[in-house]
Amino acid sequence: MDNQTSKLLFSKIRDGDEKAFKKLFQEYYSSLCYFATQFLNDDSVAEGIVQEVFLKIWEKKKVIEINTSLKQYLFRSVRNSCLNIIQHDKVKKQYAEQVMGNSKQNIDFSKYYLEVGLAQKIEESINSLPQKRKEIFKLSKEDGLKYKEIADKLNISVKTVEVQMGLALKTLREKLKNYQNLLALFYIFQK
């Protein structure tokens, strides 16, 4: 596609002509994907980048200024996106290496055992509840259902749900009284 044709095509795209955009896409998509794959060695990531470039062109068609040829603009956009991905991956890799380096140091993991014990103790305490009470508790806390929804689902009254939840919470508080400080943190970080 020569420069004059591409300028005319982009002018139509700028006016919202979807057929012109489709023509541009069909003209360059494959070669841009191949180009991106040369940088990234990953076909699916390359395709995603190319699609993102085309999406940005369509979304910003009214404000994009192309001073070079449309072809150069497309290839430069894909190249820049690939370089951004490569740079981002380098940063992630450096961070992972830093974390792995720190993990090789002598770390006292015993402070984390209490949290593991807490999760296990919570699960044991919930499982020790009577069957119906356990079911109501899990529907509320794990599935996030409201008391009315639980009542409808189990074909019981809302008052029964309230009473059973109160008894479940009382039982759990008693069984987990040694973990009360960590219990609040456990539920905060589980969400």
Determine the Cα–Cα distance for residues 20 and 27; give it in Å rounded to an integer. 10
| Residue-range domain boundaries for the chain | 3-103, 110-190
Is residue 70 classed exposed, middle or buried when 0-12, 13-18 and 19+ CB atoms within 10 A define those classes? Answer: buried
Which CATH number among 1.20.140.10, 3.40.50.300, 3.40.50.2300, 1.10.10.10 corresponds to the domain 110-190?
1.10.10.10
Determine the Cα–Cα distance for residues 169 and 160; give it in Å rounded to an integer. 14
Determine the Cα–Cα distance for residues 105 and 122; give it in Å rounded to an integer. 31
Structure confidence at residue 78 (pLDDT): 93
Structure confidence at residue 174 (pLDDT): 83
Determine the Cα–Cα distance for residues 6 and 17; give it in Å rounded to an integer. 14
Closest CA to 134 of 159, 157, 158, 154: 154
Closest CA to 37 of 90, 73, 2, 86: 86
Query: Can you spell out the DSSP letters for 15-70?
Result: TT-HHHHHHHHHHHHHHHHHHHHHHHS-HHHHHHHHHHHHHHHHHTTTT----S-H
Structure confidence at residue 189 (pLDDT): 40
Give residue-wise pLDDT tens across range 8-44: 888 898 899 999 999 999 999 999 999 999 988 888 8
Structure confidence at residue 108 (pLDDT): 52
Enumerate residue ranges in the chain where pLDDT < 50. 109-114, 183-191
Tell me which CATH code domain 3-103 carries.
1.10.1740.10
Q: Which two tokens stand for residue 183?
A: 């219990």
- Helix (H), strand (E) at residue 95: helix 70-103
